[in-house]
Structure 1
Amino acid sequence: MHPSLALSNLNKLPFRHKKLATEAVEGNLQKLDALLEALKTLPQKQHAFVTPVLYALLEPDSAIIQELLEQGVAGAERLARRLTQLQTTFSLAPTVLLSSPIPEDAATAVWERIWFWAQFLDQLYEQLPLMPREEVYISFILASLPLTSHVDKSRAAFPLQTPGVRAMLARAWVTLFRDKSLRSLQMISFGLNYLTQDAYEDDEETCLWELSDQLGGLDALADLIIEHLAHLFPAPAPATPQTVKLADGLVYFLHRIWHSTSFISMLPDAGICSLLVTVCRALSADQSSLAQNLYELVHELLIDGLCSHAFTEKGARSIADSLSAGLLSLLTPPTPYKTRKELLLVFDRVLPGKTVFPSVLVSLSPVLPTLEPPSDIIIGGAFLKVWNHFVELVERRSAFFVHSCRNTIAPLRACHNLKCNQIRKKTEFKQCTGCLVAYYCSKACQREDYRTGAHRHECPKLNEARKGAFYQPVDCDGTDNHTGERLSLKKEDDKFFRALLAAEYARRKVEIGVKIVKFWTENPDEVPCLEFDFSAGAVTVNVYSAPYMNSVTHMGEIKRGYRWPPDGFSEAVARSAASQGRVWVHLFAVEVGDGGASNVRLLLKPLHTENAALWNGLKIIAARWRCDNSINIADEPQREDVERLVKVCEGIAETHS
């Protein structure tokens, strides 16, 4: 036993405190209560002399308690006295151990006894709730503070290395949060702040995994964190000093485990982003140092989540909700210095890539006019330039969205029977009930396409592609079979995608024609696959061959390994080849994931034309320039030919299916 834990140290106390301490050790509960009160008048430097009282009263005598339990009524009085003594001793521990320096060996010895009793009382509650379980957990958290809050990291780390500590913290969190009293919430904050200090490590034996295992998995931990944050910050109203203190431990804990992609993937998509916005807005109104520290941490998580984590895997819903909650006001300068460079990515790629979703445009349109242009220039004026481009994009697409909503002209559709391919108003067609994708101008065309065409085989694949418009690839086995989870796409999103694609194609038809001529100059026998990349705001158009697209899938080419051909791609290429120039393979690239290129998905939107005039004309131009070796095709000498061809083909009906 360490010398500082010997009862002889009580002689160093003033007479009154010495008498109370001695009688408390002898088992007098009234004197123990009195000692707890008398410590308020004892100089802090003398508090360490009371440590022997703790050590003595926490002697591991659980066998006696178990014996008293077995005695029933006969042992009830003694049992109650011992449990009351333990509870008061637990309350005494923080006052004694936090007030003055205590040798490490002594602090460790006291902790071992505290932990022994915390485990015992927790298990005892399962058998017989003799004392409120909340009190057991509160005492456990308070008793750990003398070590975990110590500036000496080696001393602070000792409780963290004790097996079972985080499992008990998880049980304490659930129980105390259910109580939701001010005292219980404060204890949770203490526990999360000091008992999760090693959560930066991502190992199966450390904090994150111990907590999640006890709670029932990472998804349960994520749910608890979100529920806790939402309870503390139900609205973006200015946070009170009390709320800031209650959020302290939770925010620091969330920041520590944010590195874990396993955990982040479990965060419910709908709500976490807008919830962080609410927390930021609430904290920003409090100018205290603690509130500002927490604000910077949450703001950092918000920006990091927008740029690199799974905030938007269910389309644009979370972004739209966050914009309504006030996201933009947190993203315009002045902002925390740590996140300013990341803001360039947010406004240059993340948010622009979401403006293809009507819900995002509807949320952005009323907010942008209320914001002042950013005044401080970041990174040599780069931010202001990106901001202006973003505003212009939103205004342009918002106006186009309003126009498309007001357009009452019935959309066009093409007969799915390639022998017909007639283009008329959608209302004049019958839809295939099997796939809900193919349209036919008559029952005869539908019957012919099903019996002698390819629809008998492609119908289930088209239905599968329709159900899983967004596809999250996980693995590839070298064939066309991929495993993963599908992400939903709203009908209004798909309708707007078609409108955007049609407008972009019509506006840039000459430029696209030149690209196709170049493609056919080098690949005369291949079907051109046109990718319209809407994933980062400004639209880029690329032309690829089907073999190249498939090689990307199977070989994992670094340059474009993240773009996976969608369901039905091979069938679309075959239809294009069989159509003799009346069906084009168009792909709509949209970002549906975490703000990075790895979450760009390709949606199949074939273009049907009334005749093959454009296809055949571009083929002829490509053949002519391919034969003329004196021409540098990179100089685009064929542009004038393409311009004349496009003008001749004006008025030919066309539609995206």
Structure 2
Amino acid sequence: MHPALHRDNLRRLPLTMRLAANAAISADRTVADVRRVQGYIATASRTQARWTLPVFYTNLDTAELPDLDTFDTEAPPPDTVSAIGRALVSLYSLYAMKSLEITGADLWPRVWPWARFLHVYRAQLPGSPPDESDFCLSFLSFARLGLDHPGTLTLMMATPWFWYMLAQAWIHLPTISGLRSKLVARNDLTWFLVQDQVTDPANMAQLIEGVGGTLAHLAQLVLLFIDGIVPADEASMDQTLIDYLDRMLTFVGLVEPALQDPFQATAVLGPFGKALLARNIIPILIRAFCSLSNSPAPPTLTALCSCFDLLAGLFLTSDGYATMPEALDAGLLRALVMSAQCSFANDVHEKYYKLYFTLFLPYSLVHYRFLSALAVALHGITHLVDTTAFKQCSTYEMWTEFLSLANERLEVLTTFDSSRSSRNVKACDNLQCSNVDVKNAFRRCSGCLSFYYCSQICQITDWRHGGHREACSSYGTLFLSAKNDEESTARQRSFLRTLVQYDYQKAQSTLLSKQTSFMNAHPGKPFLIIHDYSKGRVKMWIKSVTIVDAVEEFTGVEWKSILSPRSCKRYGNGNPCGWNIPATRNTTLRDPPPNQYLRSRGV
């Protein structure tokens, strides 16, 4: 037993306190006796208060814990009622004294069983039960003291259901009214959440059960915590709040390791990451980005890099990548530009900006929804990108390269929105017909569900003389249509057709020359023109391939991967290298109808 817990210490107390303390450890002690000692602590010196520790240690004797089977079925006898009342007063007294650091190894084995019992059976306790919020948060404050003493900390964290109690305290964090009390509770909680022991499966299971039973409950608490400390107006954050934010982001990375290091991210988001995404973590993180960029340099860098890691880890998954348009709406471009020219921007590793300006953002420029959001976002940051500070930062060259490509795609978007293309224009797939009209004016082939004809005559002509008979079942695989890309909208598919057509026309003279050379070198051999958007700017080349080969190579995933990076490939040292998005165009030498760029036709 620790010397501070021996009854001999009571002799050091002033006479009045000593008499009360002796009564509180006597055989016929009552709740009132223990409460009287508790009252003296408020005016006693710190040393005198610690001399009363034997009183509370004695009244937390686990031998007096009620028999749970009897407690559940019968009214407790007077002795048990007294023991419960004395234990409750003793716990609150110890919580106020913050004495765990000196007596942890001996005090904890008595504190925990009673704390656990009083919490579980709170509603069934005789008299007035303790307020659950106050009880849990007081326990959290008391337990935090053990973090400074490795022996006590190890003992606490090895205690079954300790993490459950911490989770219960976390639930009640939003109920705290006083600013200082809220800051203290946030500090206490986040220190536990960054301990390595939290990743132990048993501990994590307890934590999840304590917050409500699912990862969705845990995600909701994480977002409430971050939302509660990040200013809504991009104001700067002080070091205390930045520390809390950084610890919470570290905790997210511990629960979902793929979000801790984007260069080790997987293409599929884990269940916790999906729960965070479903509850709109990205707008909150972007808000944190902006506030951190306006905050003092020394404490901010680590938290800002954690934001970078977490966001990039989300965007590198198919679920997270699909939210890029919403991220633009929430201010992603603004956050990137602000952070690139903040006072400590030179200390932010260039790899973070490369991920966004050379991968995420350029790759997204094939999305109709993304480009629509981008146009608004660019207009909103004109004053930020036109500053001397931004033009002199190391990120500016990457930005200008992205902006050049973005402006090209926005030009296509403008053309698309102002033309008949936005009404889902189709062309007759009989290459001998030049009829172009809205989709409803055509009939679709019932075999491949991909080709459209303006009349039965055109369908018969293409079947007999255009090669459709030999490849009807194959074309459905190569054709960008709802059949092969159920995830994108008709407007998105129409925009892609417009984009490929636009790029084809720009390179038409060069491509026609290459096609002529290919046909002279390989007479009668079919080929495709590949449009690859995986690196941002389109790459086009001619590929010798038969219809059967094309079907085997292009399985339809290529179309789907335009909207989600499912076919992510990594090279070299693991840096993400983008996704291949081949698109085929017809190989006839004449100007093709607008809808014929996503299929091959034998020559």
User: Would you say the 8 A contact 2:416–2:498 is kept in 1?
Assistant: yes
Q: C-alpha offsets along residues 598-637 of structure 1, whole Å, 9 cap, x if unaligned?
A: 696666755347xx3x2xxxxxxxxxxxxxxxxxxxxxxx
Q: Which residue of 2 aligns with 1:52?
A: 54
Q: Which residue of 2 aligns with 1:211?
A: 207
User: Would you say the 8 A contact 2:146–2:152 is kept in 1?
Assistant: yes
Provide the C-alpha distance between the structure 1 equivalents of 2:516 and 2:123, rounded to a whole number of angstroms.
77
Give unpaired runs (5+ residues) of structure 2.
Answer: 260-269, 571-575, 599-603
Q: Which residue of 2 aligns with 1:170?
A: 167
User: SS in structure 2 opposite 1:413?
Assistant: strand
User: Would you say the 8 A contact 1:5–1:55 is kept in 2?
Assistant: yes
Q: C-alpha offsets along residues 274-326 of structure 1, whole Å, 9 cap, x if unaligned?
A: 11112333566665987x47853653445543664566332533332333794
Q: Does 1:90 align with 2:98?
A: no
User: Would you say the 8 A contact 1:331–1:343 is kept in 2?
Assistant: no
Q: Does 1:267 align with 2:276?
A: yes
Relative distance call for 1:5 and 1:537 in structure 2 (3 A) is same
Provide the C-alpha distance between the structure 1 equivalents of 2:548 and 2:470, rounded to a whole number of angstroms.
22
Q: C-alpha offsets along residues 140-176 of structure 1, whole Å, 9 cap, x if unaligned?
A: 323312212x1x43433332222322233334434x2
Q: C-alpha offsets along residues 167-198 of structure 1, whole Å, 9 cap, x if unaligned?
A: 33334434x26757569966863553233333
Q: Does 1:122 align with 2:119?
A: yes
Q: Specify the code of the residue in structure 2 equivalent to 1:62.
A: L
User: SS in structure 1 opposite 2:358?
Assistant: helix
Aligned residues: 562
Structure 1 counterpart of 2:377, from 358, 364, 368 = 364
Q: Does 1:607 align with 2:596?
A: no
Query: How many angstroms does 1:36 deviate by?
Result: 4.0
Relative distance call for 1:460 and 1:294 in structure 2 (3 A) is same
Q: Which residue of 2 aligns with 1:395?
A: 407
Query: How many angstroms does 1:386 deviate by?
Result: 0.9
Structure 1 counterpart of 2:426, from 410, 413, 419 = 413
Structure 2 counterpart of 1:567, from 532, 556, 560 = 556
Q: Which residue of 2 aligns with 1:63?
A: 66
User: SS in structure 2 opposite 1:162?
Assistant: coil
Q: Does 1:278 align with 2:287?
A: yes
User: SS in structure 2 opposite 1:592?
Assistant: coil
- Give the 5 Å matches for 1:522-601: 527-544=526-543, 565-567=554-556, 590=562, 592-593=564-565, 597=569
Q: C-alpha offsets along residues 347-396 of structure 1, whole Å, 9 cap, x if unaligned?
A: 22222222333233233331231213575689x97522112212223333
User: Would you say the 8 A contact 1:528–1:546 is kept in 2?
Assistant: yes
CA RMSD of aligned residues (A): 4.8
Relative distance call for 1:213 and 1:69 in structure 2 (3 A) is closer
Relative distance call for 1:498 and 1:88 in structure 2 (3 A) is farther
User: Would you say the 8 A contact 1:115–1:140 is kept in 2?
Assistant: no
Provide the C-alpha distance between the structure 2 equivalents of 1:460 and 1:538, rounded to a whole number of angstroms.
27
- Give the 5 Å matches for 1:84-483: 84-98=85-99, 102=102, 106-125=103-122, 130-148=129-147, 150=148, 152-174=149-171, 176=172, 179=175, 189-190=186-187, 192-199=189-196, 204-205=201-202, 207-212=203-208, 215-230=212-227, 235-236=232-233, 238=235, 250-260=248-258, 262=270, 263-268=272-277, 271-282=280-291, 292=300, 295-296=303-304, 299-302=307-310, 304-305=312-313, 308=316, 312-314=320-322, 316-323=324-331, 326-334=334-342, 335=344, 337-357=347-367, 358-373=371-386, 382-408=394-420, 413-416=426-429, 423-426=435-438, 428-431=441-444, 437-443=450-456, 453=469, 457=473, 466=482, 469=485
Query: How many angstroms does 1:25 deviate by?
Result: 3.7
User: SS in structure 1 opposite 2:488?
Assistant: coil
Query: How many angstroms does 1:269 deviate by?
Result: 5.4
TM-score (norm 2): 0.74
Relative distance call for 1:200 and 1:146 in structure 2 (3 A) is closer
User: SS in structure 2 opposite 1:355?
Assistant: helix
Q: Specify the code of the residue in structure 1 equivalent to 2:364.
A: K
User: Would you say the 8 A contact 2:426–2:437 is kept in 1?
Assistant: yes
User: Would you say the 8 A contact 2:65–2:83 is kept in 1?
Assistant: no
Q: C-alpha offsets along residues 187-233 of structure 1, whole Å, 9 cap, x if unaligned?
A: 8635532333334875534x445434664443443344234434555
User: SS in structure 2 opposite 1:396?
Assistant: helix
Relative distance call for 1:296 and 1:94 in structure 2 (3 A) is farther
Q: C-alpha offsets along residues 423-479 of structure 1, whole Å, 9 cap, x if unaligned?
A: 533354234689864322124555898999478856986899625627xxxxxxxxx
Structure 1 range deviating more: 520-529 or 440-449: 520-529
Q: Specify the code of the residue in structure 1 equivalent to 2:495.
A: F
User: Would you say the 8 A contact 1:94–1:142 is kept in 2?
Assistant: yes
User: SS in structure 2 opposite 1:538?
Assistant: coil
Query: How many angstroms does 1:7 deviate by?
Result: 1.7
Query: How many angstroms does 1:86 deviate by?
Result: 3.0
Relative distance call for 1:546 and 1:23 in structure 2 (3 A) is farther
Relative distance call for 1:526 and 1:589 in structure 2 (3 A) is farther
User: SS in structure 1 opposite 2:145?
Assistant: helix
User: Would you say the 8 A contact 2:253–2:310 is kept in 1?
Assistant: no
Q: C-alpha offsets along residues 24-51 of structure 1, whole Å, 9 cap, x if unaligned?
A: 4444545544544544544445654343
Give unpaired runs (5+ residues) of structure 1.
Answer: 471-487, 554-563, 570-586, 615-648
Q: C-alpha offsets along residues 322-349 of structure 1, whole Å, 9 cap, x if unaligned?
A: 3379434444222553444312322222
TM-score (norm 1): 0.69
Provide the C-alpha distance between the structure 1 equivalents of 2:547 and 2:17, rounded to a whole number of angstroms.
85
Q: Which residue of 2 aligns with 1:629?
A: none
Relative distance call for 1:226 and 1:390 in structure 2 (3 A) is same
User: Would you say the 8 A contact 2:163–2:206 is kept in 1?
Assistant: yes
User: SS in structure 2 opposite 1:541?
Assistant: strand
Query: How many angstroms does 1:530 deviate by?
Result: 4.0
Q: Specify the code of the residue in structure 2 equivalent to 1:137.
A: C
Q: Which residue of 1 aligns with 2:601?
A: none
Structure 1 range deviating more: 401-410 or 295-304: 295-304
The share of aligned pairs that are identical, in percent, is: 19
Q: Which residue of 2 aligns with 1:474?
A: none
Structure 1 range deviating more: 138-147 or 235-244: 235-244
- Give the 5 Å matches for 1:510-525: 510-512=509-511
Relative distance call for 1:28 and 1:529 in structure 2 (3 A) is farther
Relative distance call for 1:411 and 1:596 in structure 2 (3 A) is closer
Provide the C-alpha distance between the structure 1 equivalents of 2:329 and 2:42, rounded to a whole number of angstroms.
51
Q: Does 1:509 align with 2:508?
A: yes
Relative distance call for 1:220 and 1:296 in structure 2 (3 A) is same
Query: How many angstroms does 1:272 deviate by?
Result: 1.8
